[in-house]
Structure 1
Amino acid sequence: MGRPSNTEERRQQIVAGLLRVMAERGYEGASVAAIAKAAGLAPGLVHYHFKDKQEILLTLAEQLAARVHERVASRLARVKGGDARAKVDAFLDAFLATGADADPHAVASWVTISAEAIRQPEVRAIYEKVVRTDIAQLEELVAAVTGKRRAPAVAAGLFAAIQGYFVLAASVPGLVPPGSAASTVKRMAAGLLDTAQGSEES
């Protein structure tokens, strides 16, 4: 695999700069000058590689989604055999668990992206595509436990809990005890899966 081009490296620096600044100041507070400073580049280079701040945001949204999808795939690959419940837990862990691959800046930035999705149609298009893909995958995993009829409601509920934890962690630092989100949502999942599975069988 060849070395990334100078242009790719610069674009990655700029996207990483937005990630850092946006996690601390939000999207409105992420000026091009602040992004350039965080990236260690001159502001002119930001304008050279991206037409505007929104283009950087859209690139960041796509990259954050790709990171999470890699994390989900990695966690699912660790599940032995066809343990359907363990796969649901692995999905939840991928989104919420702490560890070497956890990134609080990414969580804070994703919350900001979700807010910008309400205001900007271009951001909404990417955000909606990512969320629909994630929920569809979770729904498929849940359906293997509960059957298809109840899977949409259970998957939507669990995904809403994930997003809620993201908002709390980003908006009110220190409110969510470290490591508690994944264990709590997994307990919620167990209750929902048991109830849904029972209703499918009856």
Structure 2
Amino acid sequence: MSRKSNTEQRRKEIVFALLSVMAEHGYEKATILAIARQAGLAPGLIHYHFKSKGEILLYLVKLLAGLSRIRYEEMAAAASTPQDKLLAYINARLAKGEGALPEAVSAWVVIGAEAVRQPEVRAVFQEAIAAELELIQALLTACLRDQKKRIDHVPELAAGLLAFMEGAFQLASAAGDIMPQGYAAATARAFIETSLTAQEPV
């Protein structure tokens, strides 16, 4: 294995350590020492791979966005219709089961809060959100065209679905014990099916 591969693997270990600490204790308490302990590394090694905790956080945003996209692509691989692909996306983002990372949900909520406070985090977070919106719009457009319906309201529908998902992540992190089990994916599917049905024919 090359040195570059070893370095990249170590960086991922550090980033996942930040994810674990942040999901449990928040960003402020995710110190370099706490990250090092979680990763089983000396603090000096953290500084060797990253200039700061903020740099680890930026890497984490991109990593989580990438993992989310990979889970969708794996679930959508067997999809044969636009509707199946859209449902695969909803399940990839909201359903539990293989490939789900509960800690990532809490970490993503913390990242959203840090995006409000830190311009560098906001820029990377907005890139991830823009990519999600673009994907949702493409999936909705394909569904509506397949059903020979108008696509005028796709941007609003996409934004509504994304807003629902982000809200579901917040509730899963802060009030998961009182929310109905499995409600998020089921509700998102119902919202989309109703919204698609309501669109006018071409």
TM normalised by structure 1 equals 0.91
Q: Which amino acid aligns with 2:151?
A: K
Check if 1:118 corresponds to 2:116: yes
Write the mapping of 1:84-163 to structure 2, written as runs, cut at 5 A. 84-146=82-144, 147-163=150-166
CA distance, structure 1, for counterparts of residue 76 and residue 3 of structure 2: 30
The equivalent residue for 1:182 is: 185
**Aligned-residue offset at 1:148:** 2.4
Q: Secondary structure at the match of 1:201?
A: coil
Determine what percentage of the aligned residue pairs are the same residue.
Answer: 44
CA distance, structure 2, for counterparts of residue 149 and residue 5 of structure 1: 46
Gap regions ≥5 residues in structure 1: none
CA distance, structure 1, for counterparts of residue 44 and residue 178 of structure 2: 39
TM normalised by structure 2 equals 0.91
Change (3 A) 1:77 1:5: closer
* Contact 1:143–1:150 (CA under 8 A) maintained in structure 2: no
Write the mapping of 1:42-121 to structure 2, written as runs, cut at 5 A. 42-80=42-80, 83-121=81-119
The equivalent residue for 1:24 is: 24
Moved over 3 A (4+): 1-6
Q: Which amino acid aligns with 2:76?
A: L
Question: RMSD across aligned C-alpha pairs, in angstroms?
Answer: 1.7
Deviations 1:125-162 (A, max 9, x none): 11111111111111111112333211111111111111
The equivalent residue for 1:165 is: 168
Q: Which amino acid aligns with 2:48?
A: Y
**Aligned-residue offset at 1:115:** 1.0
Q: Which amino acid aligns with 2:163?
A: A
Q: Which amino acid aligns with 1:189?
A: I
Write the mapping of 1:190-201 to structure 2, written as runs, cut at 5 A. 190-196=193-199, 200-201=200-201
CA distance, structure 1, for counterparts of residue 8 and residue 85 of structure 2: 35
CA distance, structure 2, for counterparts of residue 114 and residue 100 of structure 1: 25
Change (3 A) 1:136 1:5: closer
The equivalent residue for 1:14 is: 14
Equivalent pairs counted in the alignment come to: 197
CA distance, structure 2, for counterparts of residue 156 and residue 121 of structure 1: 22
Q: Which amino acid aligns with 2:88?
A: A
CA distance, structure 2, for counterparts of residue 133 and residue 52 of structure 1: 26
**Aligned-residue offset at 1:32:** 0.8
Deviations 1:92-147 (A, max 9, x none): 11100111100100111111111111111111111111111111111111112333
Gap regions ≥5 residues in structure 2: 145-149
**Aligned-residue offset at 1:8:** 2.2
